[in-house]
Amino acid sequence: MVCLGNICRSPLAEGIMREKLTSFGSSVNIDSAGTGGWHAGEAPDRRSIAIAARYHIDISSQRARKLQKADLDKFDIIFAMDTNNHKDILAMADENQQEKVHLFLEFAGMGKQDVPDPWYGDMTDFESVYHLLDKAGDKVALRLEALLLKKS
The answer to whether the CB of 101 falls within 8 A of the CB of 93 is yes
Residue 151: CB minimum distance to ligand 4NP, A: 30
> Active site includes 117?
yes
**Distance (Å) of CA 4 to CA 26, 79, 93, 96, 134:** 27, 12, 16, 23, 19
The answer to whether the CB of 58 falls within 8 A of the CB of 15 is yes
Between 24 and 65, name the residue whose CB sits nearer to ligand 4NP: 65
Among 5, 80, 126, 141, binds ligand 4NP (CB under 6 A): 5
> Active site includes 9?
yes
Among 24, 55, 107, 119, binds ligand 4NP (CB under 6 A): 119
Residues acting as catalytic residues: 3, 9, 117
Residues making contact with ligand 4NP (CB under 6 A)? 3-9, 34, 38, 117, 119
